[in-house]
Structure 1
Amino acid sequence: MIAITGATGFLGSNLIPKLKDKKVKCLVRKYIDNSKIDPVVGDINDTVSVNKLLKKTKVLIHLAAVIDSKNKKDYYKVNVQGTKNLIDSCKKNKVKRIIFVSSMASTKDYLDDYGKSKKEAEDLIKNSGLDYTILRPSFIYGKNSNSMKKMISFINSFKFIPIVGNGEYTLNPVHVDDVVKAIISCINSRKSIKKTYDILGRNEISFNEFINVISEKYNIQKRKIHIPIPICLVISSVGSILGPSFPLKKSFVLSLESKYKGTIASAERDLNYSPISFKEGLNK
């Protein structure tokens, strides 16, 4: 039996159909009628529902997380305290195997509240004594992804495309199908126990190229305007007051100079990981 948190999110909803030959229990906030899963109503801060989720379970796949919130305490409550509750329940129910989907946000030189909470959750899992695997995806995209919808909405809200700085800094978007394959590879992989993997796309691309690929795909014909980083910092600081929906994050601007970009070498070796390029993924 496999237990999953965050099953109704973008990643979880893409993972579950690929586990059709497995028995799956999912922690959900509201009851859902789905013949493919056994739903357990509750949340990761409710000990009773978490124990029910993990009873007679062999593997926990932990996807649930708060990504954007006006309240900083939400990051700690769900991403950190929720993870601790799961660890405690794993021990109580003799569940040894946990696959935790973290984020590349935990590796940045400048950590925002989300990145800090993911880093703290990683540390809890590493020190838990469980047979863990930690996966750190970068920007996850795919059909119906909220992140891509927000990006396109942001581009369409201007008469031009605003670019932070010179746009030559790199990112490495990963298609949701590749993240799903990595998770499934970990389930029965002894090699992956007590290891952490960066889960990235096939190639690094500059932000300029990232925007070019999106513009070509969605027939967006606008010129790019490069905005100096100091001005972007001011804009993002003001925007943070408006709430998490503001598209330009201060943490994003400050993280552009982060030295660690990630590597898929160990995932390729241990998980037979072979991701697709951003352009290929956008056309799936």
Structure 2
Amino acid sequence: MVKLNQVVITGATGFIGKNLRKYLSKNNVKLISISRRDFKPLKNEIKIISKNFDEKNIISKIQNSDALIHLIGIGKQSVEIDYNSINVELTKKIVNLCENAKIKKIVYLSGLGVSSNTSLGYFISKYKAERSIINSGLNFTIFRPSYIIGKDDYLTKLLKKQIKNNQLQIPGPGNYLIQPIYIDDVVKVIFESIMRIEFQNKILDLVGPETVTFEQYVKLFSKKTKTSIQKINLEDSYYNAINKIKSDYGVDDLNILIGNFKGNHQKLTKISQIKFQSVLELLESGRLF
């Protein structure tokens, strides 16, 4: 078990970042949290606002920290911002930052389904990011998450928006499988990964104990609302994703959904020694709504 002095978090104001900062702060971990947007610091937290991660302004503040947790990434491209610039090049910049600031441990959130055999642009960018971390020689833990679920995650907010509009939409048949994991378990696992040697130089699927079809997930999520559910032809879903900027699902969102990606939860449980929350029980209880 490592005694922590200081931990750096990038992407501090995102869904995972906000929850992780609260958890680490409650556990009396000193934090240096970096974000492009301003935010209110927690107990034992120093904030850094930076849009380009300029080393001259950051290195002296984060030097000799015990670990850096890199949470920045994008899952949808645009003309202004693309996978390579954020998922690949920014990760390389963060690796260099760790090396120059003498931070020996890096934790990175990749994606479930990432492999050397992928042809999906999003996964290719995540794979290249993984390789830059592995080849750096830093002590690393790379997590490949499925859907991380909580009250403010992307999928939950999307379903709530659709419920507000009185109709839930399922792309295609909805029989593809997902393996969601609860945010409270995610922050515990990340904490363990910077504390314990068992996580050193590991790539782990960050997945929950249950697989569920997307249709089943949507029905459980919305069952107390009695909102109508409509299945949208998959071809139409892709058409909307390609042609409409504000489409609920992007092209790679759909690719990931229908990919039926499943992870090794048993391995995660064995290493982390955590008893994971059933997402199905959370859905049944209504606590995610």
Match of 1:251 in 2: 252
Match 1:174 to one of 166, 173, 181: 181
- With normalisation by structure 2, the TM-score equals 0.85
Give the 4+ runs in structure 1 shifted more than 4 A. Answer: 107-112
In structure 2, how many angstroms separate the alpha carbons of the residues matched to 1:180 and 1:68? 24
Q: Which residue of 2 aligns with 1:205?
A: 212
In the aligned structure 2, how far is the partner of 1:248 from the partner of 1:69? 12
CA distance in 1, matches of 2:120, 2:162: 21
Partner of 2:173: helix, strand, or coil? coil
2:178–2:261 Cα contact (<8 Å) kept: no
Q: Secondary structure at the match of 1:98?
A: strand
- Counterpart CA distance in 2 for 1:71 and 1:98 is 30
Q: Which amino acid aligns with 1:221?
A: T
Q: Deviation per CA, 1:80-119: give whole Å up to 9, x if none.
A: 1111111112111221111112222535976544332222
2:17 maps to what in 1?
A: 12
Partner amino acid for 2:46? D
Per-residue displacement from partner, 1:124-155 (whole Å, max 9, x unpaired)? 11111000001122111212333311123235
- Structure 2 equivalent of residue 221 of structure 1: 227
SS in 2 for 1:191: helix
Gaps (5+ residues) in structure 2?
Answer: 1-5
CA contact (8 A) 2:113 2:123 kept: yes
CA distance in 1: counterparts of 2:58 and 2:243, whole angstroms: 35
- CA offset digits 1:203-233 (Å, max 9, x no partner): 101122111101214x1332x4444xxx423
Q: Where does residue 272 of structure 2 map in the other structure?
A: 271
Deviation at 1:257, TM superposition (A): 5.5
CA–CA distance in structure 2, aligned partners of residues 275 and 281 of structure 1: 12
Counterparts of 1:117 and 1:107, CA distance in 2: 10
CA-atom RMSD in angstroms: 2.5
In 1, the alpha carbon distance for the partners of 2:257 and 2:75 equals: 19
Matched residues in 2 for 1:192 and 1:120: separation? Answer: 21
Residue number in structure 1 paired with 2:197 = 190
Distance 1:22 1:182, change over 3 A: same
Q: Which amino acid aligns with 1:38?
A: I
Which residues in structure 2 correspond to 1:59-70 (within 5 Å)?
A: 59-70=67-78
The CA distance in 1 between the partners of 2:116 and 2:235, in whole Å, is 17
Matched, 1:145 2:161: no
Q: Could you tell me which amino acid in structure 1 is paired with residue 273 of structure 2? A: N
Paired residues for 1:58-207 under 5 Å: 58-71=66-79, 73-104=81-112, 106-107=114-115, 112-157=120-165, 159=167, 161-207=168-214
Distance change >3 Å, CA 16–CA 111, structure 1 → 2: farther
Quote how far apart the aligned CAs of 1:272 are. 1.2
